[in-house]
Chain A
């Protein structure tokens, strides 16, 4: 029975790490602009689909990955220039609709370019699972978890230690003051979307061997990534990872022990439960209303 628990746990960690990686993309953009990018799932899809495409035309894996990152960053920057920047001081609802419009556009483009079939990507180090305590762990999910941790540390260092990082956080909290202090808000926005697009692409080709790649793969991933980021407290990289793991593990445990039919419903009930008791997420900063 313990092996079964371990297997559920490992599955939860695998899925949780995926949601964490996607959730991190939300965090970076939120940190810089208080915008929730509902096209984040599509960044992941673009990373996966372009990597699959480059591999299919014969490129070696590392080259394909690099090109996938470059393409997704380019699209992220284009999204800022064409959609986000012109609507800078729009309301939350309007910005949500703009990023949803962008996600529909990117999905449409992917279908025109790469068709609607589903594809897979070779995992980094093979498909045969590692047996731990009778439960199977995929090397690929260890790669995903490892890179999620690595990225969190890099982000923590970037946002807390480097000047540009602090500039991003500063311009999120008080754009006017940041501008007065000489921070170029447009550059910060471009940088944050570029960073988040890169992260999305990395997540894309890390996730593809497990979730496969098809134009609408980004919808559910984006949704669960948003859950991870909110559960952990928007803007907190460590929170996004923990939020992702909590969502992933609760889904796996529900599927295993309660009812696989209501797996997703339970995950959302947990999220609602957390939000009701901590309205700004587990580790979100609880700002008091400044009057």
Chain B
């Protein structure tokens, strides 16, 4: 009679223990500086996470080759959250309490970042996010910083350029991802105060292969003067192609989400004439030598293209700046004490990065302003910087 009880107990317990025991990772060398990261390396947002992962890996390797930081090697632990906040949360807890990392450089998407913030704030660990949404640092959270330009900056830059060309009636198309929806929310919010009127507001789904219905509807909106698209990844090229096929005549604006060579190459000529705000990194060749970012941006561009074989994108730039800001902060703090490193990150002043010049403060955990964006236009297959 006892037999049944023992049999059940062993079955359930054995499986549980096997699972949990095996995931206790090996012992760790005491003195390495541990950088924890979870990125959307695969899945829908892999277009963000992949360059970020490659950038972190190549630069940690480079820094370690040059003797590491404070004489200590950097150890990089990266988990693939596949862009899903549901997967990001356990990885964040694993990095903080199991791998016991010193600093977090993670969260390719805003959704994943927002889900992890409560954990980071409770644990008290410096966290630099690669998520786009402004809400990540607004209202300011003690331990949370971010390097990517917020969509607020991008939208304001776009509106300024539109106003310069006398365009005030804008038709908007946006995707269904976190980046797309947050960009749409900012656009609709800033339209009024910037004197713009949104005459159309259309959406397309994840993985859609043809946006002609939405673009046709926007094209036929009476009084429309400019078309704007919020999105990133393959959809940016499809929208550009459809835009050209439908022969839409109004100026075509997109966001820094499309700032990569893949966007131009895969739009098969549809990208011609598209204007968008981009980090200086993207048009590094067109920058005058006097431009403060010229040296840093071209060094990063050369390193990235040679090591990864892909063209450079602003998303890789976010990771580069994040890593460098943390390394500088640790050097200035002289230790990996979390409170000290956090304070130093907050004191980052006039840091020249690939994506812009960072001036952080207790009230601004991003430190970028519109100047970090450069308006560019696609001319015969490459980026041209606009004055």
- CB neighbours (8 Å) of A127 from chain B are 241, 244-245, 268-269
Are B234 and A15 neighbours in the complex by a CB distance under 8 Å? Answer: no
Chain B minimum-CB-distance residue to A11: B212
Evaluate contact between B237 and A120: CB separation under 8 angstroms: yes
Give the contacts of A210-241 with B (CB-CB under 8 A).
210-212, 214-217, 219-221
Q: List 7 A-B contacts (CB under 8 A).
A: A11-B213, A115-B310, A118-B234, A118-B237, A120-B237, A120-B266, A212-B238
Contact residues in B for A252 (Cβ distance below 8 Å) = 210, 212-213
Complex-state Cα separation, A220 to B310, whole angstroms: 26
Complex interface: chain B residues within 8 A of A261 (CB): 176, 203
B46: A residues at CB distance < 8 A: 111, 116, 214-216
Q: Which of A1-51 contact B (CB under 8 A)?
A: 4, 7-8, 10-12, 14-15, 18
B369 at the interface (CB under 8 A from A): no
User: With A4-B217, A136-B245 in contact, is A210–B210 under 8 Å at CB?
Assistant: yes
Determine whether the beta carbon of A260 is less than 8 Å from that of B43: no
Give bound CA distance, A220 to B220, whole Å: 29
Give the residue name and chain of the A residue nearest to B217 (CB): A256
Q: Which 8 A-B pairs give the minimum distances between C-beta atoms?
A: A220-B207, A211-B209, A255-B213, A11-B212, A116-B46, A118-B234, A120-B266, A261-B203
Binary per-residue interface labels of chain A (195-223) against chain B in the complex, 1 for a CB within 8 Å, 0 otherwise = 00000000000010111101111011100
Give the A-binding residues of B (Cβ under 8 A): 41-44, 46-47, 50, 176, 202-210, 212-214, 216-217, 220, 233-234, 237-238, 241, 244-247, 262, 265-266, 268-269, 310
Q: How far is the CA of A221 from the CA of B204 in the complex (A)?
A: 15
List the B side residues contacting A219 at CB < 8 Å. 207
In angstroms, Cα B175 to Cα A263, docked, is: 12
The residue of chain A having its C-beta at the shortest distance from the C-beta of B202 within the complex is: A260
Given B43, B209, B234, B246, which contacts A136 in the complex, CB threshold below 8 Å?
B246
> Which residue of A122, A210, A256 is within 8 Å of B213 (Cβ)?
A256
Q: Which of A4, A118, A120, A261 has the most CB of B within 10 A?
A: A118
Q: A117-B262, A252-B212, A260-B217 are in contact. List 19 more A-B contacts (CB 8 A).
A: A8-B216, A11-B210, A15-B209, A15-B210, A118-B234, A119-B262, A119-B266, A122-B268, A123-B268, A211-B210, A211-B234, A212-B237, A214-B233, A216-B207, A217-B207, A220-B207, A221-B207, A221-B209, A255-B214
Contacts of A279 in B (CB 8 A): none
Contact present for A210 and B209 (CB under 8 Å): yes
Q: Answer yes or no: A138 CB below 8 A from chain B CBs.
A: yes
Q: Smallest distance from the beta carbon of A96 to chain B beta carbons, Å?
A: 20
Q: Smallest Cβ distance from B184 to chain A, in angstroms?
A: 11
Which A residues between 159 and 194 are near B, CB-CB below 8 angstroms?
Answer: none
User: A residues touching B (Cβ–Cβ < 8 Å)?
Assistant: 4, 7-8, 10-12, 14-15, 18, 107-108, 111, 115-120, 122-123, 127-129, 136, 138, 207, 209-212, 214-217, 219-221, 252-253, 255-256, 260-261, 263-264
List residues of chain A with CB within 8 A of the CB of B233. Answer: 118, 214
Contacts of B176 in A (CB 8 A): 261
What residues on B are CB-neighbors of A18 within 8 Å? 209
Chain A, Cβ-Cβ closest to B40:
A116
Q: Are A264 and B205 in contact (CB under 8 A)?
A: yes
**Shortest distance between the CB of A262 and any CB in chain B (Å):** 9
CB atoms of A8 and B213 under 8 A apart: yes
Chain B neighbourhood of A11, CB < 8 A:
210, 212-213, 216
Quick check: B238 and A211 within 8 Å, CB to CB?
Answer: yes
Contact A118 B310 (CB under 8 A): no
Whether A260 pairs with B214 at a CB distance below 8 angstroms is yes
Name the contact of B47 in the complex, choosing from A117, A211, A220 (C-beta under 8 A).
Answer: A117
Report yes or no: A7 in contact with B213, Cβ–Cβ below 8 A. Answer: yes
Residues of A within 8 A of B204 (CB): 255, 260, 263
Q: Are B310 and A129 in contact (CB under 8 A)?
A: no
Bound-state Cα–Cα, A261 to B220, Å: 18
B240 to chain A, nearest CB (A): 11
Q: Min CB distance, A276 to chain B, in Å?
A: 24
Does the CB pair A118–B262 fall under 8 Å? yes
Task: For the complex formed, measure the closest distance between the CB of B108 and the CB atoms of chain A, giving whole angstroms.
Answer: 12
Contact B268 A256 (CB under 8 A): no
Q: Are B50 and A117 in contact (CB under 8 A)?
A: yes
Residue of B nearest to A264 (CB): B205
Q: Is the CB of A14 within 8 A of B43?
A: no
Residue of B nearest to A262 (CB): B203
With most chain A CB atoms within 10 A of its CB, the pick from B41, B245, B310 is: B245
Interfacial chain A residues near B208, Cβ < 8 Å: 220
Q: Would you give the shortest CB distance from A13 to chain B, in whole angstroms? A: 10
Taken together as a complex, chains A and B put the C-alpha atoms of A116 and B83 apart, in Å, by 14
Contacts of A209 in B (CB 8 A): 268
- Rounded to whole Å, the gap between the CB of B270 and the closest CB of chain A is 8
Residue from B203, B210, B217, B238 with most neighbouring chain A CB atoms (10 Å): B210
Please give me the residue from chain B that is nearest to A127 by CB atom.
B268
Q: Are B245 and A138 in contact (CB under 8 A)?
A: yes
CA of A18 to CA of B176, assembled, Å: 21
Minimum CB–CB distance from A78 to chain B (whole Å) comes to 22
User: Closest CB-CB distance, A15 to chain B, in whole Å?
Assistant: 5
Q: Which residues of A contact B220 (CB under 8 A)?
A: 4
Question: In the complex, A127 Cα to B9 Cα: how many Å?
Answer: 66
State A210–B270 Cα separation when bound (angstroms): 12
Q: Check if A120 sits within 8 Å of B268, measured CB to CB.
A: yes
